[in-house]
Amino acid sequence: MRSKFAFLLVFIIVINSPSSLAVTSTTHEVLDARAIAQLVADRPANEGRVGTMHFRLVNNANRERTREALMVHSDKNDIERIAIFFTQPSIIEETAFLSLNYDEDEDDNWLYLPATERVRRLPASDRGDYFLGTDLTYGDIKDNFKFNMSDWDFALGDTGDDESEQADNSHVRLLVGTAKSPEISTELGYASFKAKIDVTTAFPVWIEYTDVDGETLKIVEVLDIGLIGGAQTALHFTAKNLQTGHKTDVHFTGMRHVPNLDETIFEPDTLAYGVPDLDD
């Protein structure tokens, strides 16, 4: 009876404690699939961080295009806000995207295109569309390396590592997700995923997605993670579409904690005003 009680106590602590990112080897075995997905979903954020986002787009003929944008992120008052303001090249300059993710209500996503001089709200059905020529969907940007608990059924898989790699990667679990319905799969653009989760940081380091027909679609690799204002943050990652050969490489410079962001930055109408002047 005592051992059962101890098991239950450890499980509750891991799932509910903000300090659950410091998962020890003892508690690794306690985490089931949904618990790991919840650990990722509850990964601590902070009230503000800002950085320059560098995109390198490479097609299957190895031709490159580059882009730059200011990324502003905030998570407070039960709302996660992500704003991206493109600054280079001139063909995409002043294009802006805003995502407002609510804990309870339906999320809002907005896009400003200078050519139309109009801020438009993106319907939820557009979250599987690709983000401005990259290999990331609007949903990928919005979800910020998390997996919406209402979209997926979760299971654990085998990482496929050999014994020596398993010993070195004892903190890594393979999380498998399957879209809860064909309608959700169509919205997401994905039928399933496999993700290697580092349970010490609650961050996926590798994700493989299948398309709505179940065919392998793309692989996302997180190459560098940094602690910014107490929040684990992807500083360099790639997404490669295995069906087209197109690849998107994203890295950040100047990523910093900015705790007192002006909340008007995250108002849809503000997207049309251009890149905000941040005084941090």
Residue 28 is predicted with a pLDDT of: 45
Q: Once rounded to an integer, what is the mean pLDDT over residues 103-107? A: 70
Q: Say whether 102 sits in a helix, a strand or coil.
A: strand
In whole angstroms, give the CA distance from residue 104 to residue 80: 12
pLDDT of residue 110: 95
Contact status, residue 147 vs residue 208, Cβ threshold 8 Å:
no
What count of other Cβ atoms lies within 10 Å of the Cβ of residue 33?
18
Residues belonging to the chain: 280
pLDDT at residue 148, as a whole number: 93
d(CA 153, CA 276): 39
Task: Supply angle C-alpha 106, 110, 113, rounded to 5.
Answer: 165
Query: What pLDDT shows up at residue 76?
Result: 86
Of 23-27, 122-126, 159-163, 197-201, the range with the highest mean pLDDT is: 197-201
pLDDT at 107: 79
**Which positions ≥6 away from 245 have C-beta within 8 Å?**
59, 60
Residue 172 DSSP SS3: strand
Task: Say what the pLDDT of residue 10 is.
Answer: 36
Instruction: Please determine, for residue 25, whether its predicted confidence score (pLDDT) is greater than 50.
Output: no
pLDDT score, position 11: 38
130 part of a folded domain? yes
- Domain-located, residue 280: no
Q: Note the pLDDT of residue 49.
A: 95
- Tell me how far apart the alpha carbons of residues 250 and 228 are, in angstroms, rounded to a whole number: 17
| Beta pairing partners, 52 | 70, 253
Q: What is the DSSP string of 114-163?
A: TTTTEEEEEPGGGTTSBSTTSSSBHHHHHHTS---TTTEEEEEE-----H
pLDDT confidence of residue 23: 41
Helix axes 2-16, 33-41, angle to 10 degrees: 30
Nearby residues of 105 by Cβ (< 8 Å), 6 or more positions away? none
pLDDT value of position 77: 81
The whole-number pLDDT of residue 280 equals 53
Domain count along the chain: 1
Asked if pLDDT for residue 115 goes beyond 60, the answer is yes
Lowest average pLDDT, out of 18-32, 59-73, 204-218, goes to 18-32
Instruction: Give the pLDDT confidence of 117-172 residue by residue, as tens digits.
Output: 999 999 988 999 999 999 999 999 999 999 999 999 999 998 776 555 555 678 99
223-278 confidence digits (pLDDT tens): 999 999 999 999 999 999 999 999 999 999 999 999 889 999 999 999 999 999 88
CA 90, 94, 100, 106 dihedral sign is negative
Express each pLDDT in 50-89 by its tens digit: 999 999 999 999 999 999 999 999 998 888 999 999 999 9
CATH of the domain at 134: 2.50.20.10
Asked if residue 278 is part of any domain, the answer here is no
Closest CA to 143 of 41, 56, 237, 73: 41
- Does residue 279 lie in a domain region? no
For residue 252, the enclosing domain spans 2-273
